[in-house]
Structure formats: C-alpha cells, structure tokens
Structure 1
C-alpha cells in the first residue's frame, strides 16, 4: 500500500516527464542545426527535414502502439519506448552521414511513441471523471520542457558540441526509465475485457458519433495551435519588426498564458465538468479570435495583437485538454487506441498549417489570424452539433 501511494503521488510529474521526452528531442538540437549540417557535410534543408522525419515516425508509432496499450502491459510499453529512446539518443552522436542521422531520428520517434501513447490512458485509469484535471496538470508541468529546451541546447553547444546535446538527452531519458521502473504502477485490467483485433479497436473509436465530433474538435483546435507555432516568428519578427529579445519575451508570455489556462482548468473542471469548461474556453476563443482578425485587418499596433493572442492561446489549450478528456472517458477499454487517433490526427493536421499559411501569404498577419479564426469557427460548429443532438 505504501509503494502504491508513493507511486500515485509521483504519478503526474512522472507522466509529464515521460511526455516531455519528445518536446526535448524536437527542441534541444534546434540551435545546433547549422553545426550539425556542417559536420555531416549536408545543407540546412536536409537537417530541417529531420523534424518532419521525427514527426512522421512519431505518428506512425502511435498508430501501432495505441491498440497495443489497450491489450498489453502499459508499464512494459513505457519501458520499451523509453529504453529504445535511450539507445537511439546514444547512437545519434556516432553517425557519420545525414542518412544515418535521419534513419535513427525516425527510429527514435517511432519507439518513443510506445511510451507517450500510454500517458493519457493511464491518467484516465487513475483519475476517472477527473481526467481533464489530470491532463491539465500533466500539460502544465510538461510545458516547461519546450520552453527551456532550446536554451539548454545552446548552452551545451557552446560548452562542448552538438553531440553533447544527445548525450544529455539520453541521460535524461535514462533517469526517466529508472523512475518508471521503480514507481509507475501497472493498470489492473478486467478479466471480462473482450479480445479485439487491431482494426476492430479503431472501428469502435470512429463509430461513436459524439466522439467523432470531439475528435474533430481536438484535431482542428490543434491546427490553430500549430498555426501559432508556425506563424508567430514571422508575425512578431517580420510584420511587427520586434527584436529577438522582445520576441522571446512575448513567446514566453504566451507559454505563461497556456499554463495559466491549464491551472484554471484544474481548479474548476471537477465542479463544472469537461463539457462546460470546453464551452467556457470556446466562448473566449471566439471573442479573442475575432479580435485578432479585426486588429490585424485595421493594422493596429503590436500591443493589440498581443492582447488578442494571450487569451486566445489560453482558451485554445482549455478546449484541447477538455475535448481530449471527453474522448478518453467514452472509451474505457480502448483509451490507448483513442489516444493514438487523437495524436495521429493532431500531428497530421498540424503539418498542414505551414502549407495553408504559405498559400495565403500576403506579407501581413491576416492569413495567420484568419486561420486561427476559421479553426475556432469549425470547433464551434462541432460543439453546437453535439449540443443539438443531446437536446
């Protein structure tokens, strides 16, 4: 009993540490890209492609490991995923050409998804109706990783080399592996669970009509988030001509807005419920997205765009975490599969943000504001359909 209580006390930080592996793997080596390209005798586009390769490997891994998380030991899947990530991280500094680097990055992402796909399902198992609260806590803790990762990478690069970045990454993941082995509790499965095939598990998730609308909500609100990640450097640095220091401050301010929204959600979701909190976030998102379009249409100063983006990013995160919780609670026996569906569609549509913004590019922030507004509008339609069906 003591060990179980210790495990539960550590559960949310531990799950956040597991999820943080991928953001660290994506962001820590960004400052070293030019050095890496020179070392491997290739150009920057090839090294930049390693990000797309990583996301592809991660998405394909989710498709495979999601249903496996519903059938096999989740604890063993996490150990397999983190263990494989450690080995891949140790191999990356030893590569001699870009092809080897890209192949190992793909393998690193693919294997690591076995660990991360387990996290939302584990939160659902232990927190039940409070799943949104648990997801908010984990997201809030995990956001520290992408915020500090580029700075850590810069320090390691200056202090030694690009290779040290991956050695430190392997050290972090090894520590997570040890903590998982010691503290992560195993989920006790019901003996009456029906044996289902890989395809049958996905059919169950997609056959639920209300869940489909929440899945679209989660997917499209992610498009808004990726639109922000893709466009905000251009918006702040080019359109409004801020300094890099000002940009970093504004970016950090938006991260604080995201964390504040998650903290607010953890305080209120138990009393209000996930559907109500989703609507609160969506209402604020509609107002903020409309304001963002208007201030950029009338070419108002930077301060107005910042004031519109802050509540918009916070409200987007509130919609995302509650829609995910609502999806997971509908599938107690297929939560791993549901997580795979959410993750794959989220990363897949996120990849469209860049091409969409490029297609509508006009040298202003209007395409960015328009894509954010359109995404929020689609989510509003989905949630209105759910409300009409349940009326």
Structure 2
C-alpha cells in the first residue's frame, strides 16, 4: 500500500532553474565525500599522533559510515513527513560543529566518537537530496543522479590533494576547513534552497509502516542488494587506497592524491556517459554495461596483485573498475527510487543504511585479512562483483518467472 501524502511544492521551487538547484544539491551531499576523502592522506600521521596502528585509524572511517547509516535510518522517514529545508539546516549545522571539535580531540577513541556524531547528524542534510532529484526528473531520475554525482565528484577529486596541502600545516587544519565549507553551504541553503512540506492526509503512515512498505516491495530487493554490495567494494577502495599506494607501492602523499584524482575523473566520465545514454538505453541496460566492465576489471586487479605486477597495472585496473562501480550504483539507486514515489526519503534511508552499514564492514574485513599486500583488497572487490552478478541474474530470473 502506498502513502497518500500530498506534496505541496511552492511556486519558488517550480521556477528554480535546474542549473542552480543541481550544484546546490551536489554541494550539500558533498559534505560526506569531503569528510571521508580529505583526511585519507593524514591517516599515517593520525596513527602516529594517537600512538596507534593504521588499522585503528582505518576503522574511524568504518565508524563514520556506520554513524551515517544510522542517521539515514532515523532521518529518512522524517524527510517524507517534514520540511526538507529544515532537515538540511539541522544536518549542516551539526556537521559544522562536529568538524570544529575534531581538531581538539586527544585520543583515537575520542576521534572516532566525534566522527560518529559528525556522520550521524550530517545525514539529515543529505537524505533529502535523492527525493528532490526524483521529483524533478521523474522517470529520468538516473540522469539527474548522474548530473549531481558528476558535479559532486569534484569534491573527492580535490579532497585528497587539499588534504595533502593542508597537512603542511597540521592535520587539524583539515577539519577546520571542513567546518568552514559546511557553514558556507549552510548559508546558501538557508537563503536559496526551496522548501518542500509534506502534508499528511487522514491515512497517516507511521515511521515503521514506511519501512515496511519499502522492504516488502519485491521488485526492488535485488537492486537493493546490488547497491549494497557495490558500496562494500567502493568503501573497500576508500579504506585501502592510501595504504595500497603509499605503503605497498611507496608513492608520496602528493602522487597518491594525483592517482586518486585520476580515479575520480574516471567516475565523472562514467556519470557523463550515463547522462547521454540512460534516456535511450534505460537504467537496467546501463547497469548491465557497468557490471560487465566491473567483472573484467576486478578480475584483472586480482591477477595484478597476485603476480605483484608494477604500479601502472593497478592504476589501469582501478581506472576501469571504479567508473563501472559508479555506473552500477547510480542506475540501481534510480531503479529503486522509481518504485517509491511517495516514500522516496524512506527508500533513500534504506539504500543508505544498507550501503553504509555494509560499507562500515570494509575496514574490519580488510584488517582481518591484512597481510601487508594489496591482494586482500583486490579479492574483496572481485567477490563483491560476483555477488552483484548473482543478484542481477536472480532479478532477471524472478521477472521471467512472474511473467
């Protein structure tokens, strides 16, 4: 049963140009990529600062993802009932305060705790973005996602480089800059972000009922699995890439930031290709294209690391793999949200909880199989792609049986 909530869109939102709305939405959702990527070059320094091992610092990323997932779980249904603009203000304000507190922590446990709070509250701002895109793009939601993602990718592309430069001063500067960025976006959102109020009809849908609607929807299940497992692979990359490049291949922090930027450019290219083709080909077909390339690239990555080939082969394998993961994820998410026109916030929360919940396992999994090489990372990426393949095959088989 679908919610009968009616959405009262103001004239201001109807007239707001997409050319302005999309960059604003991208700036809001970029707070998490910046919080994740900007401090990657500082991980070895943080380990020394707090007198701990690299895996402990890597786990701070996993805790961030867990906090973000739990925040989505809480704020997702609220975005289907209350003012989205107010949620954005709450989320960005909390993120700014937590970012300002991080430079003053004195232990790894305090650092991890504040990161959890930072992630949890920031989700209030980002959870409203997919629903807003869906309302503006309708059946072409994947195109809107790709445009926002393409703009947003500027954040992870420049974040490690910015982090490396800011490290010349201190690691604390990274989080002061994050606080400043979120304050600027907060001010822009307060002035320019259109508001959307959800007026409940007599058929009130409760917090729990909204989740039941999403989880009971059979058509979305295998795409949810796909989105979830792709995220495990993606966050395995985020968690491990500084170790792989800096420790395994002995590159400098600056070279690492350049290599990371190359991958982000690949992601942006994938999103651009998706905006050009998805309207004609459809999200399901584009997802399949991405999966074929991902399976090939992940297999190459395993062999490259098993045979311990030079750095260039790892760079090429990842340059093929990461854009294909992005192609899979953006189309899977669009296919999911198209099934939930009245529960887009709750569906976004489910996607996020599954995505960042399993993403939080990347650090512990890689720490458990840690052997000083990049092979465990490559194997995790390959296994994730096999699970995605299986889920999509099951999705196709289920549709054929139902027909």
Fold equivalence (TM over 0.5): yes
Is the contact between residue 258 and residue 314 of structure 1 (CA under 8 Å) also seen in structure 2? yes
Deviation at 1:301, TM superposition (A): 4.0
Structure 2 residue ranges without an equivalent (≥5) = 1-10
In the alignment, which of 342, 349, 362 is matched to residue 353 of structure 1?
Answer: 362
Cα distance in 1 for residues equivalent to 2:319 and 2:184? 35
Instruction: Indicate how the Cα distance of structure 1 residues 293 and 108 shifts in structure 2: closer, same or farther if over 3 A, else same.
Output: closer
Deviation at 1:246, TM superposition (A): 4.4
Cα distance in 1 for residues equivalent to 2:88 and 2:179? 15
Cα distance in 1 for residues equivalent to 2:386 and 2:46? 41
Cα distance in 1 for residues equivalent to 2:107 and 2:307? 50
Deviation at 1:182, TM superposition (A): 2.1
Map residues 321-336 of structure 1 onto 2, 5 A cutoff. 321-336=330-345
Aligned twin of 1:319: 328
Cα distance in 1 for residues equivalent to 2:247 and 2:104? 38
Deviation at 1:311, TM superposition (A): 1.5
Could you list the per-position Cα deviations for residues 354-381 of structure 1 after superposition, in whole angstroms to 9, with x for gaps in the alignment?
A: 3333444455444333222221111111
Aligned twin of 1:279: 288
Cα distance in 2 for residues equivalent to 1:371 and 1:163? 32
Aligned twin of 2:5: none
Map residues 68-217 of structure 1 onto 2, 5 A cutoff. 68-93=78-103, 103-159=113-169, 164-187=173-196, 189=198, 194-217=203-226
Aligned twin of 1:43: 51
Is the contact between residue 125 and residue 187 of structure 1 (CA under 8 Å) also seen in structure 2? no
Instruction: Indicate how the Cα distance of structure 1 residues 254 and 178 shifts in structure 2: closer, same or farther if over 3 A, else same.
Output: same
Is the contact between residue 68 and residue 119 of structure 2 (CA under 8 Å) also seen in structure 1? yes
Instruction: Indicate how the Cα distance of structure 1 residues 155 and 55 shifts in structure 2: closer, same or farther if over 3 A, else same.
Output: same
Deviation at 1:232, TM superposition (A): 3.3
Is the contact between residue 81 and residue 199 of structure 2 (CA under 8 Å) also seen in structure 1? no
Deviation at 1:267, TM superposition (A): 1.0
Deviation at 1:319, TM superposition (A): 0.3
In the alignment, which of 270, 273, 277 is matched to residue 261 of structure 1?
Answer: 270
Deviation at 1:11, TM superposition (A): 1.2
Instruction: Indicate how the Cα distance of structure 1 residues 149 and 199 shifts in structure 2: closer, same or farther if over 3 A, else same.
Output: same
Deviation at 1:91, TM superposition (A): 4.3
Cα distance in 2 for residues equivalent to 1:230 and 1:85? 21
Cα distance in 2 for residues equivalent to 1:170 and 1:82? 9
**Is 2:296 aligned against 1:305?**
no
Cα distance in 1 for residues equivalent to 2:246 and 2:103? 33
Q: Secondary structure at the match of 1:43?
A: coil
Deviation at 1:37, TM superposition (A): 8.1
Deviation at 1:245, TM superposition (A): 4.9
Structure 1 residue ranges without an equivalent (≥5) = none
Cα distance in 2 for residues equivalent to 1:139 and 1:84? 23
**Is 2:68 aligned against 1:55?**
no
Aligned twin of 1:10: 20
Deviation at 1:172, TM superposition (A): 1.7
Query: 26-35 or 304-313: which moved more?
Result: 26-35
Could you list the per-position Cα deviations for residues 237-290 of structure 1 after superposition, in whole angstroms to 9, with x for gaps in the alignment?
A: 455555555444332222211111111111111111111110111122122223
Aligned residues: 388
Deviation at 1:385, TM superposition (A): 1.6
Query: 347-356 or 239-248: which moved more?
Result: 239-248
Cα distance in 2 for residues equivalent to 1:191 and 1:197? 11
Is the contact between residue 226 and residue 391 of structure 2 (CA under 8 Å) also seen in structure 1? yes
Deviation at 1:162, TM superposition (A): 5.1
Cα distance in 2 for residues equivalent to 1:108 and 1:357? 24
Is the contact between residue 213 and residue 383 of structure 1 (CA under 8 Å) also seen in structure 2? yes
Deviation at 1:19, TM superposition (A): 0.9
Aligned twin of 2:4: none
Instruction: Indicate how the Cα distance of structure 1 residues 7 and 287 shifts in structure 2: closer, same or farther if over 3 A, else same.
Output: same
Instruction: Indicate how the Cα distance of structure 1 residues 43 and 305 shifts in structure 2: closer, same or farther if over 3 A, else same.
Output: closer
Cα distance in 2 for residues equivalent to 1:55 and 1:90? 19
